[in-house]
Amino acid sequence: MAELLEVSGLCTEFKTAAGTIRAVDGISLSVRKGETLGIVGESGCGKSITSLSIMQLLPKRISRIASGQIRFEGKDMLEMPAKEVRSIRGNRIAMIFQEPMTSLNPVFKIGRQISESARYHLKLGKKEANERAIEMLRKVGIPRPEKIAEQYAHQLSGGMRQRVMIAMAMVCNPQLLIADEPTTALDVTIQAQILDLMRELQEKEGMSILMITHDLGVVAEMCDRVVIMYAGQIVEETDVATLYSNPLHPYTRGLLASLPQLAGDSERLTSIPGQVPNPANLPAGCRFAPRCPVAVDRCLTERPELVEIQPGHACRCLLQEEGVL
């Protein structure tokens, strides 16, 4: 499959009171046409910053993309004029944000917010754009879409607001959908409905999805390939089946071991000790070494590179590189 999106060596920095910190450090990934790529990691690992960097939605006053390339359909978006980026954003690349209540405008009706994108990108008239908005609300399974289009965000439930966000993202039939924690804060029944909806729309429209999540259950259900992020770097990348059957990085193994299992009452949940390091004070060697159960002295001083350990399976671990893990 041809690559739709290629991110190479992406580094994103922020100005803070403690100095300049690098929240995303050398990320390289690709999303192929028609596939779903998952990005997984703990809160603060750089998942959302990666997606906002791709969309170029970070505040320029306090952040910058220090280096790297973001190629969409072969063209580097970082080299494009701002006007060309705006013509892609919300049109050929769309995004579902993490919290719909803060992403939807509280003073505009739902229909207007959806139709705005259709008017700007598809050059539709007001009537046609409103009809398109109602059509999208119907497509994402919202009952009485004409009535919902006349309501405000606070009048809808969490699941309904998430469906509205998907309708907004899909109104221009994007080639790439970036979904940032699309099921966070929803109950499990609504989560399943939202994921089913995304999969159904993907099959109908043939789009690619970049799925950002901390939920490995969502990854198993939705994704073809997955990258695991830790402290601003990718530590493992492979297809989903291999990740579950043969995880290589100790961090990935820790994440999989912490999944709840069907077991007796005496079984305790496994956890990864410690915390993600402060990006202003990163370890000298492997960033996971202070929490790693198998780290040796070298891990504390030498920085591992992301290397292909097996065909199609890359890992950032000195012990895997040497074949001793």
Task: For residues 70 and 212, state if they share a domain.
Answer: yes
Residues 191, 244, single domain; the answer is no
40 Cβ neighbours under 8 A, 6+ residues apart: 47, 213, 214, 216, 219, 226, 227, 228, 229, 255
> What secondary structure letter does DSSP report for 58?
S
Residue 107, domain extent: 3-223
In a domain, 228, yes or no: no
pLDDT of residue 144: 94
Question: Measured between alpha carbons, how far is 246 from 238 in angstroms, rounded to an integer?
Answer: 10
> What's the rounded Cα separation, in Å, for the pair 177 and 94?
5
Domain annotation covers residue 266: no
- Which DSSP string corresponds to 262-304? S--TTPPPP---S-PPPTTS--SS-TTGGG-TT--GGGGTPPP
Q: Where are the alpha helices (DSSP H) in the chain?
A: 47-55, 82-88, 100-103, 110-121, 126-139, 145-148, 158-170, 188-205, 216-222, 240-245, 250-257, 318-321
76 and 193, same domain (yes or no): yes
Tokens at 321, concatenated: 């590189």
pLDDT at 263: 53
- Residues 148, 182 share a domain: yes
pLDDT at 132: 93
Q: Which residues pair with 233 in a beta bridge?
A: 230
pTM: 0.91
pLDDT at 258: 87
> Same domain for 76 and 155?
yes
If asked whether residues 309 and 219 sit together in one domain, one would say no
**Would you give per-residue pLDDT tens digits along the chain (325 residues)?**
688 999 999 999 999 988 899 999 999 999 999 999 999 998 889 999 999 999 999 999 999 999 999 999 999 999 999 999 999 999 999 999 877 777 889 999 999 999 998 999 999 999 999 999 999 999 888 999 999 999 999 999 888 898 898 899 989 989 999 999 888 767 888 888 888 888 988 998 889 999 999 888 889 999 999 999 999 999 999 999 999 999 999 999 999 988 877 555 556 778 899 888 988 889 999 999 999 999 999 999 999 999 999 999 999 999 998 887 7
CA distance 199 to 178: 13
Q: Are residues 142 and 31 in the same domain?
A: yes
- 105 and 61, same domain (yes or no): yes
**Within-domain flag for 253:** yes
Answer yes or no: do 183 and 60 share one domain. yes
Please state whether 85 falls in left (phi above 0), alpha (psi between -120 and 50) or beta. alpha
Query: Can you give the CATH number for the domain in which 178 is found?
Result: 3.40.50.300
Asked whether residue 92 is domain-assigned, the answer is yes
DSSP run (H or E) holding 236: strand 233-239
pLDDT of residue 262: 57
43 lies in the same domain as 185: yes
Number of domains the chain is built from = 2
Task: Report the Cα 219 to chain-centroid distance in Å.
Answer: 11
Q: For strand 19-32 and strand 3-16, is the pairing parallel, antiparallel, or unpaired?
A: antiparallel
pLDDT value at residue 268: 72
pLDDT of residue 103: 81
**For residue 228, what are the β-bridge partners?**
40, 236
Instruction: Please tell me whether residue 65 adopts helix, strand or coil conformation.
Output: strand
Does residue 133 belong to any structural domain of this protein? yes
Q: Residue 21: its pLDDT value, please?
A: 93
- The answer to whether residue 81 is domain-embedded is yes
Among residues 165, 199, 223, the one where a domain terminates is: 223
Residue 121 has a pLDDT of 92
Q: Is residue 275 part of a domain?
A: yes
Q: Do 114 and 25 fall within a single domain?
A: yes
Domain co-membership, 219 together with 245: no
* Phi/psi-derived region of residue 46, left when phi > 0, alpha when psi is between -120 and 50, beta in every other case: left
Q: Which residues contact 79 (CB under 8 A, 6 or more apart)?
A: none
Decide: 170 and 140 in contact? Cβ < 8 Å.
Answer: yes
